[in-house]
Amino acid sequence: MNTLYRVLLSLAVIFAALVCYSAGSMTGVVGFFVLGILLEAAFWLGIGKVFRSRSNASKG
């Protein structure tokens, strides 16, 4: 996958998480917080995947 595509996708996911957190805090809807948590987890897991692949590529 193209690096630019990964970066843009990661930024979009973390932005969506922040929007969900904001909407949940204004409206008090727990579902937005849960969605925000899931999106943030997807962001961090995706970032970790990128670092793991770079680390493996540099080793051999």
Residue ranges per structural domain of the chain: 11-54
What integer pLDDT is reported at residue 27 of this predicted model? 76
Residue pLDDT tens, the chain, 60 long: 588 888 888 888 888 888 888 888 777 778 888 888 888 888 888 776 655 666 666 665
What integer pLDDT is reported at residue 57 of this predicted model? 62
Which pairs count as long-range contacts for 7-11, CB under 8 Å and 24+ apart, including other chains?
9/46, 10/43, 10/46, 10/47
Q: Quick one: DSSP state of residue 58? A: H
What integer pLDDT is reported at residue 48 of this predicted model? 64
User: What's the pTM?
Assistant: 0.62
